[in-house]
Structure 1
Amino acid sequence: MILDKLANANRYTCLHPLFEQAFDFLREADLTALPIGQKAIVGQDLFAIISEGTGIPEQDAKLEVHRKYIDIQYVISGTDHMGWKDLAQCSPPNDPYNEERDAAFFPDKTRNWFDVPAGSFTIFYPDDAHAAMITQEHVRKVVLKIAVQ
């Protein structure tokens, strides 16, 4: 898991062949004007999901993981409260992996909570169980889905 500001994104472009295009999208697109929903960038290998709204309380959070995609979650406005736990430390999923939605959900709770303010991003790999939108604040964000290679 990585947490940093978009201004430092160049530090991470070497970690995946599509990260440079992903971060270019975040820097160059008018993220406040993009409609809510999915936007293809490089077909199904790199796409964006734009969302806006309030989240859920911490006690209702569910940790999730993905197998096919790495998440770069970038906060456009507001502050997203997120949680993290190493997948190796998680109990068996209570909602097993579903390939169509590329997600499994776990009953575990985490003590690792952090705020992601506007202008910052997280990177979650397939071994990073995470919970996002754990906030009552209004947040606009984009989740970039990058195919694991």
Structure 2
Amino acid sequence: MVLDKLSNASRYTCLHPLFAQAFKFLQETNLATIETGVHEIEDRKLFAIISEGAGVAKDAYKLEVHRKYIDIQYVISGTDHMGWKDLALCAEPNDPYNEEREAAFFPDKTSNWFDVPAGSFTIFYPDDAHAAMVTGDRVVRKVVLKIAVEA
């Protein structure tokens, strides 16, 4: 898991063949006005999901993991409250992996909470169980870049 500011994105482009293109999208797109929804960047290897709205209450979150995609979650406005737990420390999923939604959900709770303010991003790999948008009624605008593990 990584937490950093977009101004430091160049530090991470060497970690995956599509990271440079993903960060270029974040730096060159007018994220304040782009439509919510899915935006394909490179087929199904790299795409962006733009969302805006309130999140869930802290007692209602679920930890999730993905197998085929790495998430780069960038906060455009507001502050996203996120949680993290090492997948190796999680119990069996209470909602097993589903290929169509590309996620599994776990009953575990985490004590690893952090705020991600506007202008910052996280990177979650397939071994990072994470919870995002644990913001209650606070509105957050963000983009989740989905990067295929196998480029």
Specify the code of the residue in structure 1 equivalent to 2:148. A
Once residues 139 and 43 of structure 1 are traced to their aligned partners in structure 2, the CA distance between those partners, rounded to angstroms, is 27
TM-score, length-scaled by structure 2:
0.98
In structure 1, the residue matched to 2:149 is 148
Identical-pair percentage: 75
How much has 1:12 moved relative to structure 2?
0.2
- State how 1:12-91 maps to structure 2 within 5 Å: 12-91=12-91
Q: How many residues align?
A: 149
1:7 counterpart SS class: helix
2:55 counterpart SS class: coil
Once residues 39 and 3 of structure 2 are traced to their aligned partners in structure 1, the CA distance between those partners, rounded to angstroms, is 23
Once residues 18 and 35 of structure 2 are traced to their aligned partners in structure 1, the CA distance between those partners, rounded to angstroms, is 23
Once residues 118 and 96 of structure 1 are traced to their aligned partners in structure 2, the CA distance between those partners, rounded to angstroms, is 32
Specify the code of the residue in structure 2 equivalent to 1:108. D
Once residues 83 and 59 of structure 1 are traced to their aligned partners in structure 2, the CA distance between those partners, rounded to angstroms, is 12
2:67 counterpart SS class: coil
Moved over 3 A (4+): none
In structure 2, the residue matched to 1:95 is 95
How much has 1:119 moved relative to structure 2?
0.1
Structure 2 gaps, min length 5:
none
Once residues 47 and 111 of structure 1 are traced to their aligned partners in structure 2, the CA distance between those partners, rounded to angstroms, is 30
How much has 1:58 moved relative to structure 2?
1.0
- Show CA shifts across 1:58-91 (max 9, x none): 1111000000000000000000000000000000
1:58 counterpart SS class: coil
- Show CA shifts across 1:22-49 (max 9, x none): 0000000011111110000011000000
Once residues 100 and 135 of structure 1 are traced to their aligned partners in structure 2, the CA distance between those partners, rounded to angstroms, is 26
The Cα RMSD (Å) is 0.4
